[in-house]
Amino acid sequence: MSTDRPSKIVPRRGEGGHFPASRNTRAYQSRTTVCASSHRDWIANQPCVLCELLGMSQSSKTDVHHVRDGQGVAQRASDYLAIPLCHSGCHQGPQGIHGDRSLLRIAKASELDLLAMVVAQLAKQVHQQQGLGAFNG
């Protein structure tokens, strides 16, 4: 290949004659908003919802599990679609969500049922913080 001719593959220039920003910039990679991040932190500070449903005591730290309903193989759901699960039992344990899922079958619940319980907990907490009396949810 001769070097006296320029290549036909030339990067396009953006506005002002500058090359466009790389897709690896911080703004492109950060898809989490401050509100979603604070919601994820709230989830991480909650007790395991599956342990509560089964009447068990939580034995390890709480992990934030993103619900895998309608997601592709390498896609993670929104931070608003997350549930608190204990690490060694309900989340990463052999019977947990990333194991054979037998704890979900024992509880007769799905990930969406657990998400509904978390939403109800959040609604109850917000209702109490606003001083609106008893919550009927």
The answer to whether residues 67 and 87 touch, using CB atoms and an 8 Å cutoff, is no
Torsion of CA 67, 69, 73, 77, to 10 degrees: -50
pLDDT digits (tens, 9 = 90+) for 64-80: 998 877 666 667 778 88
Mean pLDDT value across residues 114-131: 88
Mean pLDDT value across residues 94-114: 92
pTM of the model: 0.69
| Nearest of 2, 78, 93, 92 to residue 40 by alpha carbon | 78
CB atoms within 10 A of CB 107: 18
* Residue in this structure with the two tokens 């699960």, named with its chain if needed: 85
